[in-house]
Chains A and B, each alone.
Chain A
Amino acid sequence: MEIFGIWIASLLTLCIYSFLYRDNPFYRFAEHLFVGISVGYSIVITIHQGFIPLAWNPLSEAMVALGTQIRGEATPETSEALSGLFKIFPIGIGLLFFARLSPRQAWLIRYPIAILIGFNSGIAIPNVLRAAIFEQTHGTLTPFAQMHAGSMSLDDIIGAVFIGIGLICTLIYFFFSVEHQGPVGWLSKIGIAFLMVGFGAAFGNTVMGRVALLIHRTGFLINDWLGTIF
């Protein structure tokens, strides 16, 4: 079974690389199979790691507890399990997504969408404030405090000053309430230079990441696949 798996993986890998020549039936087959398998796997994961533990299990336990309660055999555990009945509300709201399939009732989809958007906005505000704004500002300013305490090397001091200047100039570039002329224009130009270095670094890292994957796939074909033949 392991060798069969290596062969399947290798043939699919070659099917995808065949696109480097041009679009062809082998590539299209692999591409569509990839879409099908990926979508299927994401459904399985979502149901097994999200829906079943969070909604299905509490609801079914609550139904059992309700039966016990009706028979008059209630215990503190069954009373607690009854709270799972409230899961019927998010399930009902989630089912409203399917209202889109009916043109007349399609407006009902606004309810789950509005809840999810409100939910994500509510999560975003404190977390973004904490993780992105406070932490990034803290990370930029902390070296200056260390500098003041005299516990930094010259290299680190230059680095911290450079980061501070770069950050201010980059922010000035994105500040459109003032016309970019005179000193603001110059600072904004320095900001562009920092941004270009950032984009160049991101590009270089992306290329190297993809090349590492290419080396890995080539290594797989040469060592694992050809290893099963020769």
Chain B
Amino acid sequence: MKRQGPLALCFLFGIALIFTQFSPHSVSQKLYEEVIDWGLIITPFALVLAVVTLIETHITRVRRRTEHWQYSLVVFVGMAVMVLIGIPFGPQNSIVEWLYNNVQVPMDATMFSLLAFFIASAAYRAFRARTFEATLLLVTAMIVMIGNVPVGDLAWNTVLSWIPLEDGASKARQWILDIPNLASRRGIILGVSLGVISQSIRIILGIERSYLGGGD
């Protein structure tokens, strides 16, 4: 029961969702909507469990006074303010919106913009045109970056004015994105998709059971 029950439920839910998506019958559609609702109702509990684990981790840090434990209190304050105001009054509440617009969004954008520096420094260290493949990657990245900014076309029209092609930098970038990039992307998407389908079939049929964990 500890393993067979979950495996049977996994099979039932998987099969139900596959068949109901192919059948246009109203009963099938009703069942599909109900199963989707069940999935959407169960998922938030996983998030709550994740939050409980996060809280446990930070409580342990505070209790053991590990290095920088004080910052765990900042996590609690941020979370508590958002939850205590957001749950009773909803995400449209003015304080929640203010926190979202003036704290979360700016920090989110800044965190991602910080990556610009690290990517640039990593690329400087890692990008060496040692092999043909590495050179191809480097040249493509340079063309895409240069073609993305107006100065790329300006430089092209000024320095390479003898070539009978206007705005060549942005055109080269667009060609790379539309043709070779698309070909490789499609290859990757097709490969990944076949992998997803085969793995999903293995899970539904109970061949793949690693998600059940160890023990009996």
Contact = CB atoms under 8 A, between A and B. Distances in A.
Interface of A: 1, 5-6, 8-10, 12-13, 16-17, 19-20, 28-51, 54-55, 87, 89-91, 93-95, 97-98, 100-101, 107, 110-129, 132-133, 136-137, 139-140, 159, 162-167, 169-171, 173-174, 191-208, 210-211, 213-214, 216-217, 220
A139 B186 contact: yes
Contacts of B132: 193
Nearest to B198: A125
A-B interface, 6 closest residue pairs, ranked by CB to CB distance from nearest: A36-B78, A166-B183, A40-B82, A170-B187, A122-B17, A200-B140
Contact of A204 (B13, B39, B148): B148
29 contacts: A5-B101, A9-B106, A16-B110, A16-B114, A17-B110, A33-B74, A34-B108, A34-B111, A37-B78, A37-B99, A40-B80, A43-B83, A44-B86, A46-B43, A97-B46, A112-B46, A118-B9, A119-B13, A125-B18, A125-B200, A133-B194, A194-B183, A194-B187, A197-B137, A198-B180, A203-B119, A203-B123, A210-B115, A213-B112
Nearest to B50: A39
Contacts, number: 386
Interface of B: 2-3, 5-7, 9-18, 21-22, 35, 37-49, 51-52, 54, 68, 71-72, 74-83, 86-87, 90-91, 96, 98-104, 106-117, 119-120, 123, 132-134, 136-145, 148-149, 173, 176-194, 196-197, 199-201, 203-204, 211-213, 215-216
Nearest to B175: A159
Given A94-B42, A118-B17, A170-B184, 12 more contacts: A34-B103, A44-B96, A113-B212, A126-B18, A126-B22, A139-B186, A193-B136, A195-B187, A198-B184, A201-B144, A210-B112, A213-B110
Contacts of B35: 119
Contact of B82 (A41, A94, A139, A164): A41
A91 B43 CA distance: 10
Contacts of A12: 103, 106-107, 110
B197 A125 contact: yes
Nearest to B21: A126
A104 to B, nearest CB: 12
A191 B187 contact: yes
Contacts of B186: 136, 139-140, 163, 167, 170
Contact of A163 (B44, B145, B179): B179
Nearest to B2: A107
A191 B182 CA distance: 13
If over half of A's interface residues share one DSSP class (helix, strand or loop), that class is named, otherwise mixed; here it is helix
A122 B180 contact: no
B119 A198 contact: no
B180 A166 contact: yes
Nearest to B199: A121
A100 B197 contact: no
A128 to B, nearest CB: 5
Contacts of B79: 36-37, 39-40, 43
A220 B142 CA distance: 28
Given A125-B197, A216-B109, A36 B183 contact: no
A217 B41 contact: no
Nearest to B216: A107
A19 B111 CA distance: 10
A30 B107 CA distance: 8
B141 A195 contact: no
A171 B190 CA distance: 8
Contacts of A165: 183
